[in-house]
Amino acid sequence: MNDKPVTGFKTPTRLDYTIRSGEASASFLRHIKEGRLVGRKCATTGRVYVPPRGPSPVTGLPMVEEVELNHTGTVTTFCVVNVPFEGQTMKIPYVGAAILLDGADIALFHLVGDCEINEVRMGMRVKAIWKPREEWGFTTENILYFAPTGEPDASFESYREYL
Amino acid sequence: MISESRQTEALSAPYVLEYAYKRSLGPVLSEFFTGLREGRIVGIRSMDGRVLVPPQEYDPLSGESLHETVIVKDTGTVTSWSWVAEPRGKHPLDEPFAWALVRLDGADTSMLHVVDAGAIDMMQTGMRVKAKWAQDRVGFVSDIVSFVPVED
């Protein structure tokens, strides 16, 4: 028997959800399972959302036109993660970034790899590095990270509307 | 793992939101939980002489620090209860049970715990109950598995 006084204990707070994708996200995930990045275009503004929303954030009308995007884009903003936290799956330091895919009008969040973290910068041109095809599932984790393409940086003007 | 339904367009997947809190107890609750591990229930005497179970660090009326611990019995009276007909995964028992306020003998306040009476017809405000202790106790509220009805 333990003789030491009880001075504390774990009191985890846990919520178990079943999350359902909705139609637009399901379409995005089905495409990404096939190695494709497919967003949707707002019929009024022409803006392309990836991952897509069901309704246009501007008009509220359903977005139905699908737009396939290339796997290249621009780092608009980023964060170097140096702090360990509970549930962390990545080895620190690593870089999380908002990446504006070419042809998209909203940035998606992913990792930047294949370069030193102090090389990551706003405007850096990147491309998706995919896992081996047999590991693809319904997840953006099919993309391991985005790696520098070596192209010249995008001009600030080209992404200033997306920060 | 994401599951895919052929009938519908939707995908679904489990999503867990969990915060792995730890809490430290302080001197008074430390004594309460250490007591549970040892199979006894510790209360504390308030400034006006009442026995509070579970114990509180500070007097509920004056706010002064409380120090005089009091051991109460593991038998008591149900003062209020609510029947759980269909327990869910995180509930302490798999079978239907009652959440109940139990005023232990020697205490002046009631403690929230589980009454395992088997059926709602067995539940009654004023019924007498006794703690069923866990075999392996660790210093947690579940060291008392439940309170079970007893004849006085």
DSSP structure string for chain A: ---S---EEE--EEEEEEEE--HHHHHHHHHHHTT-EEEEE-TTT--EESSPPSB-TTT-PBP-EEEEE-SEEEEEEEEEE----TT--SPSSEEEEEEEETT-SS-EEEEE-SS-GGG--TT-EEEEEEPPGGG--SSGGGEEEEEE--PPPPPHHHHGGG-
pTM attached to this predicted model: 0.67
Determine the Cα angle at B82 with ends B76 and B85, to 5°. Answer: 120
> Which residues in chain A have Cβ-Cβ distances shorter than 8 Å to B28?
none
pLDDT at residue A33 is higher than 70: yes
Mean pLDDT over A24-50 rounds to 95
pLDDT at residue A1 is higher than 60: no
The reported pLDDT for the residue numbered B131 is 98
> Which residues in chain B have Cβ-Cβ distances shorter than 8 Å to A6?
25, 30, 33-34, 36-37, 138-139
Q: Does the ipTM surpass 0.90?
A: no
> Which residues in chain A have Cβ-Cβ distances shorter than 8 Å to B37?
2, 6
Is there a contact between B10 and A22 if contact means CB atoms under 8 Å apart?
yes
Q: Nearest chain B residue to A8 by CA: give it.
A: B24
- Of B2, B18, B24, Cβ closest to residue A13: B18
Q: Look at A1 and B64; give whichever has higher pLDDT.
A: B64
- Of B16, B21, B138, Cβ closest to residue A16: B16
The reported pLDDT for the residue numbered A78 is 97
> Which residues in chain A have Cβ-Cβ distances shorter than 8 Å to B16?
14-17
The reported pLDDT for the residue numbered A125 is 98
Is there a contact between B21 and A13 if contact means CB atoms under 8 Å apart?
yes
Which residue ranges in chain B fall short of pLDDT 70? 1-9
Beta-sheet pairing, A108-112 with A94-101: antiparallel
